[in-house]
Every structure is written in structure tokens, then in C-alpha cells.
Amino acid sequence: MKTNKSLWLFLLFVALILFLLGLNSRNYLYNILAVAISFIVYRNGYATLFKEYDDKQAEKRKKADKIYTALHQGRKKVNSK
């Protein structure tokens, strides 16, 4: 798992370097390669790289949905009286 995450981070770093090199040299081939590598990382490595973050965000969404539902139901009770 750790080597897999390292691989995706390395590929993202390579894409960043290629992108910056393309901006600096105005050679669009580097930018095209950077976009291609980034797309591959997004399609295949996203779950590995951002699993913890997505889990935390899902927890926050659940908590916010519960609060919103409780507030919405409370307003219905107040308005019906």
C-alpha cells in the first residue's frame, strides 16, 4: 500500500515538474504530457491517495445531514402549531 501511494505521488510530482517546465519553456508537449499523467493518476490513483480525506469528508457530510434534518423537522413542528 505504501509503495503504491509513493508511486502515485511520484507521478504527480513528475506531472508538476513537466507542467512547470512547459510553462517556462513554452513547449506545449510538456504540458500535454503533464495533463496526460495527471489524468492517469486521477483515474487510477485517486482512491489510494485521498482515501483518508474522503472518509473524513463523508463523516462530516453525514453529521451535517443529521443536523440539517433535525433542524428541518423542528421547523415543521413549529410551523404546524
Name the grid cell of 6: 509513493
- The overall pTM is greater than 0.75: no
C-alpha 32/C-alpha 40 separation (Å) is: 12
Short-list 47, 35, 55, CA closest to 5:
47
Q: What is the mean pLDDT of residues 68-80?
A: 73
Short-list 11, 10, 8, 34, CA closest to 21:
34
- CA 67 to centroid of chain Cα atoms: 25
> So what's the pLDDT on residue 30?
95
pLDDT, the chain, mean: 88
Please, which pLDDT band fits residue 74 given cuts at 50, 70 and 90? confident
Rounded to the nearest 10 degrees, the angle between the axes of helix 51-80 and helix 28-49 is 70
- 35-73, pLDDT tens digit by residue? 999 999 999 988 888 889 999 999 999 999 998 888 888
